[in-house]
Chain A
Amino acid sequence: DIQMTQSPSSLSASVGDRVTITCRASQSISSYLSWYQQKPGKAPKVLMYAASSLQSGVPSRFSGSASGTDFTLTISSLQPEDFATYYCQQSYSTPLTFGGGTKVEIK
């Protein structure tokens, strides 16, 4: 199984901050990497797919990048509605696997 190691597990940030979340795959997954945002009591929402493609309707302050087996989600200027938990997910091979999540909290 491909392990997805996400870091940090939590972070505190202020509105306007630049936030970076990292996900490392245990083996090559090409660009089969998606990022999701989940708010309490709600279903996840896709932000990025194919590592760096912005899902339609998602604000452009979200961006994704890849370098080998390392993937990054960046929020360029954190907004109040961005406080949530973020997950990466690989779809390169089954079983599909998610990272452990990063909870972004208000500082």
Chain B
Amino acid sequence: EVQLVESGGGLVQPGGSLRLSCAASGFTFSSYWMHWVRQAPGKGLVWVSRINSDGSSITYADSVKGRFTISRDNAKNTLYLQMNSLRAEDTAVYYCARLGEYTYGHPPGFDYWGQGTLVTVSS
């Protein structure tokens, strides 16, 4: 069974740092692109960052570029999001999500999501 389990969220002061983890199981983690998506309380979904299967290609949303760092450890089947210089507007539930596989040339969606971890930035 595919599982993605996030951890590391919590309350942090503005300007602080936090590292989120996403432990993957039930599939060959090293074969999949992984993403972080966040959702502020009562708001919609916002894409944050992605990393390819071997970690050689990384992309960020402009809102987090230079402050957040995505990484992965394929030996540990774990995805990370290092968040520095946190702001109140970074308050959200953070989800890790797996990008599915192309089937018959059809572009996939996010076929598995974690349960989310809440990050609250407040003094």
Contact = CB atoms under 8 A, between A and B. Distances in A.
Interface stretch (A13-21, A41-49, A76-84): A41-49
B47 A50 contact: no
A74 B48 CA distance: 28
Q: Which of A43, A55, A92 has the most CB of B within 10 A?
A: A43
Contact of A43 (B44, B95, B100, B109): B95
The DSSP consensus for interface residues of chain A is loop
A34 B109 contact: yes
A5 B39 CA distance: 18
The DSSP consensus for interface residues of chain B is strand
B88 to A, nearest CB: 21
B47 A44 contact: no
Contacts of B110: 34, 36, 44, 46, 89
Interface residues of A, number: 29
Contacts of B99: 91
B44 A87 contact: yes
A90 to B, nearest CB: 10
Interface of A: 30-32, 34-36, 38, 42-46, 48-50, 53, 55, 87, 89, 91-92, 94-101
